């Protein structure tokens, strides 16, 4: 029997346009309270979307019947025109071929060779922190994460200036994309004014920066055993390498997706650490005796368990991919709801991670939720890196980087924050508006 999904009246969408543009999560939360776990809303483009926080529907779409769902035009067209056609922005055979080529570069075995690079880069960034004054840590974490991805990819020591330019370009392009998506009625103006063309051209500038770095590596003839070497060595079934354009697209996406989500997660984690002296002391007690030498780095996941729990809890409250989009390829049905072919579904990991039926005191920060003894409680309701075949390819790299970063920061500094609540800024990923923290040397 078909169970109809409740539909949000168009007048309610129109009345909330200012809120939707600034922070759609506020509007979504009110709708979930009123209508339940799933509802239909008009996108202002004339198409109906399903929004859901249903654990069953999310697992069905991402895992159980993933072959029937693909990414929407938001990623494959709108986002792709800025950052290219790579793992994040493609579907079907193109995605599958390149996932198989790139996946080995992010496995645990390959990660072993990058551990010292990650540690050294993080350590250098952490030692540059200012002490005795309050600073917004989001730009600091963005620099840290960007430099870590850069060193993991290129293993070069003279790229900071070029990386700063690349970082500015990717941040600016993202803001333009969000304007396009949340104000589709102004797209004609974005085109007419030349704003859209200017931002797309900035993407070409970013590729030129990356092309210089790739060309330098090719001409040097040296092997660094980094992620760039892995991409250069990757081959299709016919033995041919990626085209230069495809290589640059993949590198561009690794930079964009790899640094921002990590920077945001670190900033959210640091906010809660700075607010709770007990949690901060527990981390310090754990990390103060940890040996960060090369031989011991593989033990990070095993030995720094509470530090990892704090990061996992922050990613529960603030999942980087707070909304995941998929489009049904063929007709489908889940939980009695019929899903016609062509229907776009927005999977709200933000709401699922805060659902009171799964998480006690869901809005509170409690790292003990992620103790290994409670692992079964999270199955089907916690997806910080997505789920299914399209789960984030760099999840191990990111988690190692974040554990090292929090460990190094807390080992070196005492953190204090007077901000009561974080203001959320949902962009392509979920960001904090600011996280003002004071660092004092231990």
pLDDT for 353-400, tens place per residue? 999 999 999 999 999 999 988 888 888 999 999 999 999 888 999 999
Q: What percentage of residues in the chain have a pLDDT greater than 90? A: 53
Q: What does DSSP assign to residue 436?
A: E
The answer to whether 314 touches 283, Cβ cutoff 8 Å, is no
Q: What is the dihedral of CA 241, 242, 244, 249, to 10 degrees?
A: -160
In this predicted structure, which of 99-113, 276-290, 375-389 has the lowest mean pLDDT? 99-113
Q: Report pLDDT for 22.
A: 85
pLDDT tier for residue 215 given thresholds of 50, 70 and 90: confident
Q: Sketch out the chain's domains with CATH numbers.
A: 10-441 (1.10.630.10)
Q: Report pLDDT for 435.
A: 97
pLDDT tier for residue 120 given thresholds of 50, 70 and 90: very high
Which is nearest to 417 in space by CA: 280, 265, 259, 264? 280
What are 126's strand-pairing partners? none
DSSP alpha helix (H) spans, 340-394: 349-352
Q: Report pLDDT for 157.
A: 59
The per-residue pLDDT of the chain, averaged, comes to 89
The answer to whether 152 touches 254, Cβ cutoff 8 Å, is no
- pTM equals 0.91
CA distances in angstroms from 103 to 87, 119, 210, listed in the order given: 10, 22, 21
The answer to whether 122 touches 148, Cβ cutoff 8 Å, is yes
Determine the Cα–Cα distance for residues 430 and 267; give it in Å rounded to an integer. 11
Determine the Cα–Cα distance for residues 265 and 418; give it in Å rounded to an integer. 19
Give the tens place of pLDDT for each residue, 123-150: 999 999 989 899 999 999 988 998 888 8
A 10 A CB-CB count for 390 gives: 21
pLDDT tier for residue 419 given thresholds of 50, 70 and 90: very high
Q: Report pLDDT for 424.
A: 95
Quote the tokens at residue 416: 């204090």
Give the tens place of pLDDT for each residue, 166-204: 777 777 877 787 777 777 778 878 888 888 888 888 878
pLDDT tier for residue 158 given thresholds of 50, 70 and 90: low
């Amino acid at each position: 029997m078909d169970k109809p999904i409740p539909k949000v009246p168009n007048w309610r969408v129109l009345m909330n346009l200012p809120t939707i543009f600034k922070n759609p999560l506020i509007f979504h939360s009110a709708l979930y309270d009123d209508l339940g776990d799933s509802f239909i809303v008009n996108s202002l483009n004339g198409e109906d979307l399903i929004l859901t926080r249903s654990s069953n529907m999310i697992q069905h779409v991402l895992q159980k019947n993933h072959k029937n769902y693909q990414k929407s035009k938001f990623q494959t067209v709108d986002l792709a025109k800025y950052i290219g056609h790579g793992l994040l922005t493609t579907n079907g055979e193109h995605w599958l071929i390149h996932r198989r080529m790139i996946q080995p570069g992010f496995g645990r075995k390959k990660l072993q060779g990058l551990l010292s690079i990650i540690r050294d880069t993080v350590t250098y960034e952490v030692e540059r922190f200012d002490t005795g004054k309050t600073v917004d840590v989001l730009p600091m974490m963005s620099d840290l994460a960007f430099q870590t991805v850069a060193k993991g990819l290129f293993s070069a020591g003279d790229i900071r200036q070029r990386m700063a330019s690349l970082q500015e370009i990717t941040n600016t392009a993202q803001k333009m994309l969000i304007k396009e998506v949340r104000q589709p009625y102004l797209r004609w103006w974005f085109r007419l004014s030349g704003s859209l063309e200017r931002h797309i051209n900035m993407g070409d500038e970013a590729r030129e920066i990356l092309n210089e770095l790739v060309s330098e590596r090719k001409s040097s003839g040296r092997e660094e055993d980094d992620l760039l070497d892995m991409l250069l060595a990757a081959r299709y079934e016919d033995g041919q390498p990626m085209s230069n354009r495809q290589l640059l697209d993949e590198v561009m996406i690794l930079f964009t997706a790899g640094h921002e989500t990590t920077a945001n997660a670190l900033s959210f984690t640091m906010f809660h650490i700075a607010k709770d002296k007990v949690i901060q002391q527990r981390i310090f007690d754990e990390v103060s005796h940890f040996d960060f030498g090369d031989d011991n780095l593989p033990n990070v996941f095993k030995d720094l368990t509470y530090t990892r729990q704090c990061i996992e809890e922050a990613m529960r409250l603030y999942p980087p991919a707070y909304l995941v989009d998929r489009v049904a390829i063929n007709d489908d049905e889940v939980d009695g709801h019929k899903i016609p072919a062509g229907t776009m579904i927005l999977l709200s990991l933000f709401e699922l991670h805060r659902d009171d039926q799964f998480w006690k005191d869901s809005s509170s920060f409690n790292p003990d939720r992620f103790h290994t003894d409670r692992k079964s409680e999270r199955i089907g309701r916690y997806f910080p890196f997505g789920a299914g075949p399209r789960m984030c390819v760099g999840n191990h790299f990111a988690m190692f980087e974040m554990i090292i970063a929090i460990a190094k920061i807390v080992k070196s500094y005492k953190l204090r924050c007077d901000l009561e609540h974080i203001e959320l800024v949902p962009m392509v990923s979920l960001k904090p508006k600011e996280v003002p923290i004071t660092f004092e040397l231990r």
